[in-house]
Amino acid sequence: MSFQSNAQSSPGDFFELLGRSGYRWQTRVDPQTQNDFAVTQGTTVLAFHFKDGVIVAGDRRATAGNSIMYEHCDKVIPIDDYSLMAIAGVPATAFEMARILTHNFEFFRRSQMQSMSGEGKIRTLSKLLKENVGMAIQGLGAVSPIFATYDLQSKKPAIHFYDMLGADFQIRTHTATGSGSPTIRGILEHEDLWGEKPLAERSESNAVTLAVRLLQTAAQFDSATGKARPDDEIFPTVAIITEEGYRFMDDKELTDICKTSLRR
């Protein structure tokens, strides 16, 4: 990834600063070597609106080909006090994007004496994904993220889904990405249309229970999605975003939730 300096850019343009500092992101790989190794991949993540905000969740498994590489991968990443990015795809690329976003938002806040708008945050991630197209089409840096935030200006939570080329889509109800996402999207659509309540009217407790069950169900049909295993202290990552910012469920909360919500 290469960021070009632009004399007309804003004083709060973090990408200009990166370009002037000589930052480069590898966008090409020697074709003779790109098939010599299996790239670690992370799946599955989801997000949906509930009564008080947005819930974001993901399983913890990372795979490379047919091998399970890691069972404690964090796929829901804090970006600032009100924003989270959930990743499916290559964790190394996604983590680097998350670092750039975090520094970008903080640089803007300090240089402009105000937080970046929700629209600005959404466009920044889109720009990063567009710069990453070279690695994505080679299959070595593909990332398909979900970005969730609480917009302090509009005072509303927002969810955006991105494809690997950087196109973003605002999500009014629910979304999921990764290898286990087809199962999750189908269940969420059913729950929103014909469940006891639409998703946007459900309580935090109900939303968390549903998210945990969705990931467990996806794991039944997709080997790349890891199951919750409370006895081994392996839990999904579950976070909520409200007007007060984001909050992750801790292990004690998740232990209690898994014991009750996953009971047959």
The helix/strand/coil state of 248 is: strand
Which among 43, 124, 149, 209 is annotated as catalytic?
43
Asked if 43 is an active-site residue, the reply is: yes
CA distance 23 to 1: 8
CA distance 184 to 237: 16
Planar angle of CA 84, 136, 104, nearest 5 degrees:
40
List the one residue out of 75, 70, 132 whose CA is nearest residue 100.
132
Angle between helices 251-261 and 204-221 (to 10 degrees): 70
CA distance 178 to 248: 21
Cis amide prior to 44 (ω within 30 degrees): yes
Q: Are 17 and 107 in contact (CB under 8 A)?
A: yes
CA distance 114 to 109: 5
CA distance 47 to 170: 12
CA distance 232 to 177: 26
Point out the residues that are catalytic: 43
